[in-house]
Amino acid sequence: MLEIAAISVCFSPSTLMQYALVAIELIAMNTLQPLRHVKAGVLDVALYEAGPADGPPALLMHGFPYDIHAYAEVAPLLAAKGCRVIVPYLRGYGGTRFLDATTPRSGEQAALGEDLLALMDALSIPKAVLAGYDWGGRAACVVAALWPERCIGLVSLNSYNIQNIAKAMVPDTPENEHSLWYQYYFHSERGRAGLAANRRGVSRLLWNLWSPTWQFDDATFERSAAAFDNPDFVDVVIHSYRHRFGLVTGDPAFADIERRLAAQPVISVPSITFDGTDDGVRPPAPAAAHAQQFSGPRSHRLVPGAGHNLPQEMPKVFADAVWELVQSST
């Protein structure tokens, strides 16, 4: 009775009811469990795996600020078709940790690509369909471009996701510059402090802005937001958004990969690329906008009503694309 009385002083009945409903929804909704831990490169990677161990592998990579639950509905769809589905937490997210306290907390594109390659090596996967969006799409594009022998096919939101850092200071249209406000915010120490102080607030705002027609609830957000409590989240995020503008140096361990990426290598593997018509970060572009970066077969598709978090907003569309590439390789 004393504990109940103490709680009632701090929270109104309506607030308690709201918290209770979110907790019930979190219990009831699909969570990707159990997690497996794999030492790969410089990381102890936390990942979810589903489907038969001998099935055609598909690695699904999340973006910022999201987590593996972007694929909560995609993973079972692919597993039911016989795929070996692997969904890792990226560096700085969830249960993934750096093995060495002295390793730079780099968020550069070369690091993401190398992490994906190291995970494939650790899991003894010679080649796989690589699929992702945002940071995860960038990791997939890096491996597809530099190590095409490891990639059966590529699924990528916003097409060619390899950054052209040499041209990072060339201004975009005012409308597109406006949508990148958060990147410029993270360039400042005020932005670092703001993200550190309110990871959930910043991230939820971006979810709303980037997917304006996606009606997600509190429980859906909280299921992913727990991943942002990773102790390296802020450092990795801030480094990512500063490095892509050439404002900070990269990890010397990835210098050669960054050198190769600076040449903007073409992607030769079979690819399916998407743009959501309601994407609040990257406006939809015609196939011709990135055509010169793809030398292999490519299908570019616009998804009406989809924002930036395509696999979570339109899971069947995303899963079907992955499966299409799996089937075409057999």
DSSP assignment string, 97-122 = EESSTTS-----HHHHHHHHHHHHHH
For residues 307 and 250, state if they share a domain: yes
* Range 297-316 average pLDDT: 98
* Token pair 């859906």: residue: 220
For residues 11 and 66, state if they share a domain: no
Q: What is the pLDDT of residue 12?
A: 52
For residues 18 and 137, state if they share a domain: no
What contacts 175, CB < 8 A, 6 or more positions away?
283
Tell me: pLDDT of 291 over 70.
Answer: yes
In this prediction, residue 316 has a pLDDT band, given cuts at 50, 70 and 90, of very high
For residues 84 and 8, state if they share a domain: no
Q: What is the pLDDT of residue 273?
A: 98
Q: Does the predicted TM-score (pTM) go above 0.75?
A: yes
Q: What is the DSSP letter of 226?
A: G
Give pLDDT tens digits for 161-206: 999 999 999 999 999 999 999 999 999 999 999 999 999 999 999 9
Comparison of pLDDT for 8 and 268, the residue scoring more: 268
In this prediction, residue 215 has a pLDDT band, given cuts at 50, 70 and 90, of very high
Phi and psi angles of residue 265, each rounded to the nearest 5 degrees, phi first: -65, 145
**For residue 94, what are the domain limits?**
32-328
Give pLDDT tens digits for 6-44: 333 344 555 445 544 444 444 446 899 999 999 999 999
In this prediction, residue 113 has a pLDDT band, given cuts at 50, 70 and 90, of very high
For residues 299 and 196, state if they share a domain: yes
For residues 132 and 25, state if they share a domain: no
Phi and psi angles of residue 183, each rounded to the nearest 5 degrees, phi first: -65, -45
* Range 246-259 average pLDDT: 98
Q: How many whole angstroms separate alpha carbon 72 and alpha carbon 129?
A: 18
For residues 52 and 22, state if they share a domain: no
Strand pairing report for 43-50 and 84-88:
antiparallel
Phi and psi angles of residue 266, each rounded to the nearest 5 degrees, phi first: -75, 160
For residues 222 and 168, state if they share a domain: yes
Strand, helix or coil for residue 255: helix
Q: 46 vs 31, 117, 142, 263, CA distance in Å? A: 14, 15, 21, 32
Given a contact cutoff of 8 angstroms between Cβ atoms, the answer to whether 162 and 264 are in contact is yes
SS3 content of the chain, % helix, strand, coil (to 5): 50, 15, 35
Q: What is the pLDDT of residue 9?
A: 34
> What b/e readout covers 118-142, taking b as 16+ CB neighbours within 10 angstroms?
bbbeebeeebbbbbbbbbbbbbbbb
For residues 75 and 11, state if they share a domain: no
CATH number where 65 lies: 3.40.50.1820
For residues 161 and 244, state if they share a domain: yes
Give pLDDT tens digits for 69-102: 999 999 999 999 999 999 999 999 999 999 999 9
Question: Using only C-alpha atoms, what is the Rg of the chain?
Answer: 20
* Token pair 């699929």: residue: 131
Domain count, the chain: 2
Share of the chain above pLDDT 70, in %: 91
Comparison of pLDDT for 30 and 120, the residue scoring more: 120
Q: What is the pLDDT of residue 265?
A: 98
Q: How many whole angstroms separate alpha carbon 163 and alpha carbon 290?
A: 13
Distance of CA 324 to the CA centre of its chain: 21
Strand, helix or coil for residue 37: strand
For residues 117 and 235, state if they share a domain: yes
For residues 60 and 113, state if they share a domain: yes
- Hey, how many other C-beta atoms are within 10 angstroms of the C-beta on 324? 16
Mean pLDDT (the chain) is: 93
Q: What is the DSSP string of 154-223?
A: EEEETS-----GGGTTS---HHHHHHTHHHHHHTSHHHHHHHHH-HHHHHHHHHHHHSTT----HHHHHH
